[in-house]
Structure 1
């Protein structure tokens, strides 16, 4: 199946078209996930740590739980890198000629996307729980409230965006599997029935019997000697 449409990509070696590429659903979702990770990381890194006027030490806005802020910052940063890597893989994907290599790339996309959908579900539950448990007296100036709510909101959106990304990866995997089964492998029984002489589709030529048509050894079928 090298060179044919496999796993949702066209013929290997085609020229990269940025306009067509960024109109594809999986490329759009990559950009969305990339932006969500930037928002979550930026909100917590810039406004996720606050302190009281009489104190110099900063603490996490989520119930003073440093693990909550560290989790959001780490997830946002690593997710940003994963989105960049997957986007680069999408650009490189049509140039991959090997079907097995394309299959590995699609399976990696499926696994990573499903993993991040689960991790953002955990992150959303964790951040929402810690924000609900936060005490008003711990944040008398109401600093960082919008940033905390934005991080929770975009964590929730990330669940569905990464879930949609894993669904598209699964569809690409099914498309490639169906093509491999029905597109490239002929039925062995049909090849055996056709015999060694195959003329045109649907037409076969049988090999001549050993004795010829008139019983004479070595005379081919339908061949008559011409007497001069």
Structure 2
């Protein structure tokens, strides 16, 4: 039943891959996964150039920290999206309400934190790119550098949206009446069973009158003691 516990049905429900892929949460995770690939892939492939030396330097103003930070955030986001997708697939099979709550809280906290990290990454890369001097070597990697900045910004939106979706699931909470109805009540409109009645064999007269009660208090009329 939809909405039974933190936005998912009760444990044991079947998995429908088509419906799973249509969920906004799944679409956001896949989009965030693609964005992370673009960010760290662009920097790893074309983010290091030779600027006035045979040694490779980060294209963002020769600041290796900018490239390293973006690569680290992107790789962690890549694996996090995969793990959260697996968690979403198995989430309806979690029977414990407490475990579901922990999973939703983990999703909400991590998504919010990574949205903030992507914001820092976007500001860091954009600032260093503005300070980068114009050189032929830099121009060759300009498209990759701009792509990393743009998809860092897109990642802020996608991760913030996932945090919002997790918060909405957390607010749904659990409708315990759905679980109690199936476990403890025979039916929604069924009444409580009555007390057992008699078998109908017992007699309505429990006691019998003692013998000779009709004449016990009656003395014989006209009786007189014989005179001698």
> What pairs with 1:44-59 in structure 2 (closer than 5 Å)?
44-52=43-51, 55-59=53-57
Q: Secondary structure at the match of 2:173?
A: helix
Pick aligned residue for 1:154 from 144, 151, 155? 151
TM-score, normalised via structure 1 length? 0.76
Structure 2 distance, partners of 1:29, 1:87, is: 10
> What pairs with 1:179-198 in structure 2 (closer than 5 Å)?
179-180=175-176
Pick aligned residue for 1:62 from 55, 60, 63? 60
Structure 1 distance, partners of 2:152, 2:118, is: 6
Residue 9 in structure 1 maps to residue 23 in structure 2: no
Runs of 4+ displaced beyond 2 Å: 182-186, 200-205, 225-228
RMSD of aligned alpha carbons: 2.9
Residue 88 in structure 1 maps to residue 72 in structure 2: no
Instruction: Give the structure 1 partner of residue 102 of structure 2.
Output: 104
Structure 1 distance, partners of 2:54, 2:172, is: 58
Contact 2:36 2:74 in 1 (8 A): yes
Contact 1:4 1:12 in 2 (8 A): no
Pick aligned residue for 1:142 from 125, 128, 139? 139
Number of aligned residues = 194
Larger radius of gyration: 2
Instruction: Give the structure 2 partner of residue 175 of structure 1.
Output: 172
Larger RCO (CA under 8 A, 6+ residues apart)? 2
Instruction: Give the structure 1 partner of residue 41 of structure 2.
Output: 42
TM-score, normalised via structure 2 length? 0.76
Deviation at 1:73, TM superposition (A): 0.8
